[in-house]
Copies of this chain bind each other. A is one copy, B any other.
Amino acid sequence: MKIGELSKATGASVRSLRYYEQKGLLTASRQASGYREYNQLAIEQVNTIQLYLSLGLSTEQIAGFLHCVMISKEAFCAEVLPVYEKKLAEIDEQLALLTAIRSNLIDRIASIREERMEE
């Protein structure tokens, strides 16, 4: 399978597939022409990469456990849980910040509306 086919099979852009390779998430053998050659397992692997990316993990974090999760269950891969916990802590931090800003905005919007009503 060439890179364009893998792209269509997974929805990942050709550019992204090359980037995953550069980051050590994906490997390909090479044809005599220099073209990348992928096997069927690559489809599942790319799907897995995109799943973890959608959780907000970095390619570096994913690289740390991708090999393990491709051959075992997540629970068996010691690297996964700490990464999840770290990400969860980051998200809780972001949620707290956004929630505070949200309250502030809502108050300010209400104040403006009230001041205008008084006229």
Q: How far is the CA of A76 from the CA of B103 in the complex (A)?
A: 21
Of B54, B105, B109, the residue contacting A91 (CB under 8 A) is B105
Tell me, yes or no, whether A56 is within 8 Å of chain B by CB. Answer: yes
Of B98, B101, B104, B106, the residue contacting A98 (CB under 8 A) is B98
A102 proximity list for chain B (CB < 8 A): 88, 91-92, 95
Of B75, B91, B112, the residue contacting A101 (CB under 8 A) is B91
Tell me, yes or no, whether A87 is within 8 Å of chain B by CB. Answer: yes
- A interface residues, tally (CB under 8 Å): 30
Q: Interface on chain A toward B: helix, strand, loop, or mixed SS? A: helix
Tell me, yes or no, whether A115 is within 8 Å of chain B by CB. Answer: yes
In chain A, residues 63-108, which have Cβ atoms closer than 8 Å to a Cβ of chain B?
73-75, 80-81, 84-85, 87-88, 91-92, 94-95, 98-99, 101-102, 104-106, 108
Is A75 in contact with B116, judged by CB distance below 8 angstroms? yes
CB distance from A40 to the nearest CB of B (A): 26
Tell me, yes or no, whether A111 is within 8 Å of chain B by CB. Answer: yes
